[in-house]
Amino acid sequence: MKLRFPLLTLAGLLALAACAEETNDPAGPSEPSLAASSTAMRGINVVLKSRITQSQLDRLNTIGKVKRVFREINGLTMAAKGDRLAAIRALPFVKAAKFDAVIQIPPPTDLVPVADFTAGFSSWDQDAINVTVAPLSSARAVSQTGQGVYVGILDTGLLFTWRQYFPQERIATQFARTIVGGGAADRGAVNIQDGDQWQHDVCSHGTHVTSTILGFQAGALRIQGTAPQATIIPVRLHTAGSANAIISCPFFSSVAAAGLLYFAELKRGPLAGQPLVVNNSWGGSEDPLTKAAVDFALAQGVLLVFAAGNSGEAGMSFPGRYAPVISAAASGWVGEWRRCSEDPNNPAFNPFNWWLLCDVPEPTSAADLYITDFSARELAGQDLDVAAPGSWVVGPFQLQRGKPSFFFLGGTSMASPHVTGTVALMLQKEPTLTQAQAESILEDEAIPFGAGCRSVILVPGGTTPEQICWTANATGEGLLDAAAAVAATP
């Protein structure tokens, strides 16, 4: 992500600090050569062919040191010298093994005096997916609000100032966790921690993602989310980020796998019988432990939505490209950065206010939207489902500790929670909805959107449109239509 342009005030109501666009949700680092890492201790993720036995663990411990065992998926993490990976793979009981890769999440105490933002104003992105209907209006195109549905946010956690943005009633603090560790011996085993570290994020990414689902408060202004009455479970993937949130925030794939398994255990335990969908605005290279965790979570009835990735023509990241999950590409609006009034005395005359004061005409037309250049394209063997708003989406994002601020962010990380929130609306209507059913409905009801070009103002405050073009492998089955998807849910 890189800083793009300082943002001006919104009609005296909302002081936005700056705007940024996410630029690198990479498909993941390539696996280092064995020769290059032969003397270094490395974290290695291993999946076995059958149930783990003590004799197998003893054998692996002669090669390195087993750090954590995930018996539910016949997987484990271990530390060993890099040149021992081949020996681990050669063991007859090993199905797959890979270095524990680093995954990058590009970053993208006062109380909120309401329980949810169903009465909040519309923003362009919620209007574009047909959740809301008009600027400066609280009218919704769907009666569902996500009430009774749990939404997991497997991300960087929440900022300590989250209570300034979200109602306390919407955050299930009793289930919030932090997952630490990963990598080689110096990083330690993967552990799930209680306590309040989940609300000490310094990367802001998870807070911004959450705001798309719940909505957010900015001073006196309340903005609607896709599912404003959903209950959020924040799980923090502990990163190496800093207070400067413009940097990326890396974590290990073994940590992500542990997070997915935590939600699976919630579904089997305290949330048994309750609808649960998890947003995953992250991705990297394919990893056997993460794949096994995805499969296990789906088997327990957890619905999973992933960002497609921000690598453009280089293709989708994993697990977003994995067919069983629901994946989201990033779309934008041709009306962005335009004046929506010709009256100089009208706040809508200001092109910096377009996101709140301009109207996306109903019903949403494919001609009014485009696919961003960074959104990952579907290559052979990859599966892209739908496109959702992921260009210039406004939400809480702090550069300084304790100082509330708001940013425009762009990335498939921002598109994914629109889809997740829509699935929450569908689950409210039909709590027994399966992953396959949800994916099929989203695809069937998507607004058809093939290859094309659009004329778009890409620079904040700009006046000269530029051509944005994309091919058919960038759109999945079309643009997300939340109202149509909910209506089609049995």
Containing H/E element for 60? Answer: helix 54-61
Would you say residue 3 has pLDDT above 50? no
pLDDT single digits (tens) 419-437? 999 999 999 999 999 999 9
Distance (Å, whole) CA 35 – CA 24: 28
CB atoms within 10 A of CB 417: 35
Would you say residue 138 has pLDDT above 50? yes
Residue whose structure tokens are 């149509």 = 484
Burial of 69 (0-12, 13-18, 19+ CB in 10 A): middle
Q: Which of 112-126, 152-166, 405-419 has the lowest mean pLDDT?
A: 112-126
What is the model's pLDDT at position 311?
A: 95
Would you say residue 15 has pLDDT above 50? no
Listing DSSP states for 402-466 in one string gives: T---EEEE-SHHHHHHHHHHHHHHHHHH-TT--HHHHHHHHHHTSBP--SEEEEE--STT--S-E
290 pLDDT band (50/70/90 cuts)? Answer: very high
Q: Omega before 92 cis (within 30°)?
A: no
What is the model's pLDDT at position 16?
A: 33
Q: Tell which wins on pLDDT, 401 or 313.
A: 313
Q: What length does the chain have?
A: 490
Distance (Å, whole) CA 292 – CA 166: 34
Percent of the chain with pLDDT over 90: 75
Domains of the chain (ranges; CATH) run: 2-29+104-488 (3.40.50.200), 35-100 (3.30.70.80)
Single out the residue of 385, 370, 292, 294 nearest to residue 336, CA to CA.
370
Mean pLDDT, residues 342-365: 92
Listing DSSP states for 159-223 in one string gives: -TTGGGTS-GGGB-GGG-EEEE--SSGGG---EEE-SSGGG--SS-HHHHHHHHHHEEEETTEEE
Which DSSP symbol is given to 118? T
Would you say residue 31 has pLDDT above 70? no
Would you say residue 23 has pLDDT above 80? no
188 pLDDT band (50/70/90 cuts)? Answer: low
480 pLDDT band (50/70/90 cuts)? Answer: very high
What is the model's pLDDT at position 398?
A: 85
Q: Tell which wins on pLDDT, 245 or 461.
A: 461
Q: Tell which wins on pLDDT, 403 or 9.
A: 403
What is the model's pLDDT at position 402?
A: 64
Q: Which of 37-41, 182-186, 359-363, 394-398 has the lowest mean pLDDT?
A: 182-186
Mean pLDDT, residues 396-416: 86
Give the mean pLDDT of the chain: 88
pLDDT single digits (tens) 245-257? 445 688 999 999 9
472 pLDDT band (50/70/90 cuts)? Answer: very high
What is the model's pLDDT at position 190?
A: 87
What is the model's pLDDT at position 146?
A: 98
Distance (Å, whole) CA 35 – CA 137: 61
What is the model's pLDDT at position 32?
A: 40
Mean pLDDT, residues 408-420: 96
- For 243-325, strand residue ranges (E) read 249-252, 276-280, 303-307
Q: Which of 36-40, 43-47, 454-458 has the lowest mean pLDDT?
A: 36-40
pLDDT single digits (tens) 204-231? 999 999 999 999 998 889 999 999 999 9
pLDDT single digits (tens) 119-131? 899 999 999 999 9
What is the model's pLDDT at position 240?
A: 59
What is the model's pLDDT at position 183?
A: 83
